[in-house]
Chains A and B, each alone.
Chain A
Amino acid sequence: MAEFVQVVVDGVATGSIYGALALALVLIFRSTSVVNFAQGEMAMFSTFVAWGIHQAGVPLGLALLGAFAFSFAAGAIIERVVIRPFEGGEPLTLVIVTLGLFLLINSAAGWIWGFNNRSFPSAFPDSSVTIVGARLDVESLGIVAVLIVVVGLLYLLFQRTGIGLAMRAAALNPDASRLVGVRVGRMLMLGWGLAALLGALAGVLVAPQLFLDPNLMGGVLVYSFAAAALGGFDSAIGAVVGGWIIGVSENVAGTYVNFIGADLKILVPLGIIFVVLLVKPSGLFGSPEVARA
């Protein structure tokens, strides 16, 4: 029993890594209807910025704030300069543009900081607690807590504030929003800025465990996409829960189902996603798509 609990707990810890970046993907999708392949690389770059500021002697807390501010501004600028010209065009063109951003940012980070591993300080104490015989790092608990808080904040933002409503409207139907006085351009910039900020948060949360290098998020991105899809691409809570389901299911299957093994354990969450989407085509928590004739 204790072993099973441990396997589940480890899965949640890993799943939180996927969920963190998935939140940023969901946010950008909700507020701009864009699937951003460069989200992970933006997060990596922000993490390097935090690292650089901290390296220059600034305390970690301030360095993180600095990196968040940088990310927000950079995200908004990227939207205005790179993404805006493609608004309202073919969505696949935009997907390819974000792929281009992916390559560009990854290469720039490698050029500036090199490709070697760096340690990134954790904001949480380096200790562990024992629950029902299972050992759990305080760091992982901290990440879970942060994710839950972020989900709450996003809920408040989108459901309880005028600006959140305006962001959703701008993403859903830019033309109609303009007619009712929503400043669509501003909302899109705000969406990208916030998503970049969330990405930076994801980056600094996972970097202490994964080690910081330009490929920090390369492997995470696919899992985060899966988490977002499983949860429903427009649901914040779905992104986090999706991440957990993926983390736990691959860990349980990799441990208890022998023929699956570590190399194919990714098939299990993918299988789950497939089945879930067949039953519920817009994810566990996603809002159903309306087809128009």
Chain B
Amino acid sequence: MAFFEVQDIVKFFGGLAAVNGVSFSVDEGQIVGLIGPNGSGKTTIFNLINGYFPLNKGEIWFDGETISGLKTHQICRRGIGRTFQVVKPLKRMTVLDNVIASAFLRHRSRSDAVGWAEETIEFCGLTHFKDKIAKSLPIASRKRLEITRALATNPKLILLDETAAGLNPYELEEAIALIKKIRDSGITIIIVEHIMKVIMTISDRIIAINHGRLIHEGTPTEVASDPEVIKAYFGEDYRA
């Protein structure tokens, strides 16, 4: 059994199949990229994994147990952290308080939680923003705060939803370095990303989806040259 496995998951919104029979698996310690055009169902897959939406069909396995049907907070407790594409900082709290609230999941005493929160903030390079109110942060730091908060729950698997969107080239390099650093600390990563530079340089494997279906799965070079994927992104005329 794989470390993380999605089996034939289906999600309908009314009559629309947002995700239609997707299956894939992720090995421990990998970075897996999830790509696809806008509206192809990437974020919906994240929302299904993290229990934000209930599944219509299929099953999700994590660490030897099924997690389908569990609530979001229970899934987080099992060890799956996530970030949101549209960042959701706890606006009127400081960066440190944001992360402390998260750290309390595994550190019951306040001093332990503060200690772990400060360590995680240091790890993600947000130390100089520590006492800033979350809503005052620039977008790059807000995205980083999302990651920090997810990491503070000590996840074994982390779902990163477009954490590099809207960043400048310098910030992009930093984001890539951080994602690699997270992988090196032993955390498995599934990442949704539109910026090909990011997804191509860091992913061990890439899963391409379109219209809620899996169209290709393989190494970055395989996926980039796959005619189905090119068709999905550029349309019929650009078929190789």
- Does B associate with A? no
